[in-house]
Amino acid sequence: MSQQATAPRHLVYFADPMCSWCWGFAPVINGLADHFGDRLPISLIIGGLRPGTREAMSDEMKSDIRGHWQKVAERTGQPFDLSFFDREGFVYDTEPADRAAIVMRLLNPLLALPYFTAIQRAFYAENRDVTDESVLADIAAEHGIDREQFLVALATNEARKATVQDFDVARASGVTGFPTLYAGTIESGYAMVTTGYRPLDGLPQILEEWLATPDSGPDGNSNARSGSGKAST
């Protein structure tokens, strides 16, 4: 599924930093990271929600997205700054944030998920413009990365190619919505843990049982592959 995922057993997390249900899922994926640590590494794959969007948000689009955000907030308890919708002329292009998340993974894989979460928090809870590369570099600097080094890395062909590669991996894996989480191994295949939001309750226990059981998927079936979902703003 991913050339980056090389641990014997690991999680593969398909997400986008400007996907509201992924922000809702942030406490879940970070809870799993905290629970398992190195025992069950997480490989983050950026799926690409709205890369390359060029038109500003219409009033109709604002209304639709506001409704999504309110549903996510109600179900997950995650904070949203709805003053975002007072912005005029905002272009909901996810590509800069997607590329920034991948650049951080290239520079420091250990910071990939924390930085991804920080982009989410900046966008949804703090109303910062994460389509602006200077803002993305500021957030990287907050994680100890040299700001100018990060801006240079963002502009490279390597970063753009790696971003497209992640989008291709997501499509090739049959992922059509975010968040999507798989568990498995390269050799034995992958089983879907969830497509779409689900709470943390019960997930560590399911995955602990899987880790303790040779040659099985997290649902008890070996070599399981399945799933799709609806991408969410």
What are the structural domains, with CATH classification, of the chain?
Answer: 10-212 (3.40.30.10)
**Burial of 148 from C-beta contacts in 10 A (0-12 / 13-18 / 19+):** exposed
Cα distance between residue 45 and residue 127, in whole Å: 24
Strand partners, 43: 12
Query: β-pairing, 180-185 with 189-195?
Result: antiparallel
What share of the chain has pLDDT > 90, as a percent? 85
Q: Quick one: pLDDT band at residue 205, thresholds 50, 70, 90?
A: very high
- Residue 106 pLDDT more than 90? yes
In the block, which residue shows the tokens 């069950």?
Answer: 40
| Contact call for residues 83 and 52 (beta carbons, < 8 A) | no
| Contact call for residues 221 and 46 (beta carbons, < 8 A) | no
**Burial call 68-97: b when 16+ CB within 10 Å, e when fewer:** bbeebbeebebebeeebeeeeeeebbbbbb
**Predicted pLDDT of residue 219:** 65
Reported pTM: 0.91
